[in-house]
Amino acid sequence: MGDDWLFHALLLLGLLWLSVMLSGLWPRGRGATGQMTPTPAQPIIKRCTDPKPFPGLTTKPPCEACEHVVAPYQQAPTVPPPLLMFTRGRRRARNTQQHFCLDHECAYDGWVGRGNIRANGHPGGARWRQLQCLVCHTYFQETHGTPMHSTRVSPELLVWAVSALAEGLGIRAVARVFEVDPNTVLH
């Protein structure tokens, strides 16, 4: 019987404590209708719809004194270098019209079919030809800039290995299937 009396006393004490805490947290000064005081709305900022020119792309000079100065990005395109024609000696058997010089300091850099490239054989018995620019005497492989550059694997094997990788086969699995080193597959 004593335990019931203690339980009821603690329950009454807990309810009193809860009512005191809630009365302290309850907001005061509100009307009975529950209306809130209105707050002013933020003013809507109207943005300018006029296009503003990007400072790097303006074509009109800022003043009349600057009109005679040409900006560096407005230079006229360069004239292609002259077409090289060799009349002496035998004609070259290899067509190198689709290749261009890779030296950035050469006048023929990036110009295709100007007659400045010649085939120079297969150095070291390699699969790919070595090409030479006749103007700057730069040597490079015909596969420069392609996935075949600096590879000793046959093109057919490379195509099969890349397709196996694209299908989701792992690097080590492709190396096992095609019997090559995993570093070769990674490269």
> What's the whole-number average pLDDT of the chain?
76
Residue 134 has pLDDT above 70, yes or no: yes
pLDDT at 55: 62
Higher pLDDT, 129 or 172: 172
Paired residues of 117 in beta bridges: 133
Percent of the chain beyond pLDDT 70? 78
> Which positions ≥6 away from 155 have C-beta within 8 Å?
148
Paired residues of 152 in beta bridges: none
pLDDT at 172: 92
What average pLDDT does the segment 113-132 reach?
A: 80
Higher pLDDT, 39 or 181: 181
Q: What φ, ψ does residue 101 adopt, rounded to 5°?
A: -70, 140
Q: Where are the domains of the chain?
A: 92-146, 155-186
- Give me the DSSP letters along 53-115: --TTS--S-SSGGGTTSPPGGGPPPPPPPPPP---SSPPPSS--TT--B--TTSTTBT--SSS
Residue 145 has pLDDT above 50, yes or no: yes
Residue 70 has pLDDT above 60, yes or no: no
Structure token pair of residue 96: 């190198």
Taking only the tens place, the pLDDT of each residue in 21-42 is: 887 777 665 555 556 677 777 8
